[in-house]
Structure 1
Amino acid sequence: MTTNAQTRADALREALATRVVVADGAMGTMLQAQDPSMEDFQQLEGCNEVLNVTRPDIVRTVHEAYFSVGVDCVETNTFGANFAALAEYDIADRNFELSEAGARIAREVADEYTAASGQQRW
């Protein structure tokens, strides 16, 4: 674990031990509310994880919406980024690509909100 990652992990443990840590809510519902097209889904209707690479702007706005109202941490858009779920779309080989993209987007937005407010976000 890098120093920054270790520092964030330590801060999260401390926060969990001393206060209520507020997490985000429904990722899928928020994504669907932005009405992505079949093209955005690469013709894989309902595969929200594909949006991590085709429409990272949509995924980013979901994280921003939650952080802007004060949540401490957000989930990544990777709920279905596993071999079994992606195999249903015949794209299991994209597991790493979609997982990494989803994690990167969440980390970037959390870091931006941390820098802007001085309050650690995860």
Structure 2
Amino acid sequence: MKTTLEELLAGGRPIVADGGMGTMLFNAGLQRGQAPELWNIERPDVVRSIHAGYIQAGAQIILTNTFGGNRARLDMHALGERAVEFNRAAAQLARAEADSAAQPVVVGGSIGPTGMMLEPL
């Protein structure tokens, strides 16, 4: 069921978010050194199942499987050129689960670090 963060906040009650996507992907067989975002394309059923599990557990906010979905981070796996594809797929998977939920669920984008060391300004 579609809702907005503003609507959830207006309810005046505590809001429950999902848990770690990466941990759940490792539990489902993701190998160390493999880009989790690749599963948005190669194992979408697993990603959707994780979202569904969090929603069934009461999550009102779920985050996309995009923590390492930036080009710099994906370049470490020779996948940088597919960043848009992975991020779009992740958003579609999360949105599909949120829309099919019986309760209102907000989808948020997960944005993690690049993994690069940068020169101080």
User: Which range, TM-score by smaller chain?
Assistant: 0.7 to 0.9
Of residues 14, 33, 51 in structure 1, which corresponds to 2:27?
33
Equivalent runs, 1:100-115 vs 2, <5 Å:
100-113=88-101
Query: Is residue 77 of structure 2 the alignment partner of residue 93 of structure 1?
Result: no
1:19 CA drift (Å) = 2.0
Task: Name the counterpart of 1:54.
Answer: 42
User: Separation in 2 of the partners of 1:61 and 1:121?
Assistant: 15
Question: SS at 1:74's partner residue?
Answer: strand
Query: Is residue 7 of structure 2 the alignment partner of residue 14 of structure 1?
Result: yes
Task: Compare the two structures and name the one with the higher strand fraction.
Answer: 2
Partner amino acid, structure 1, of 2:7: E
Aligned residues: 104
User: Separation in 2 of the partners of 1:105 and 1:19?
Assistant: 27
Give the number of the structure with larger relative contact order, counting CA–CA contacts within 8 Å between residues 6 or more apart: 2
1:46 CA drift (Å) = 2.3
Name stretches of at least 5 consecutive residues in structure 2 with no aligned partner.
107-121
Stretches of 4+ aligned residues off by more than 3 angstroms = none
Of residues 61, 64, 80 in structure 1, which corresponds to 2:68?
80
Name stretches of at least 5 consecutive residues in structure 1 with no aligned partner.
1-6, 39-43
1:84 CA drift (Å) = 1.0
User: Separation in 2 of the partners of 1:14 and 1:57?
Assistant: 29
Task: Compare the two structures and name the one with the higher helix fraction.
Answer: 1
Percent same amino acid at aligned positions?
39
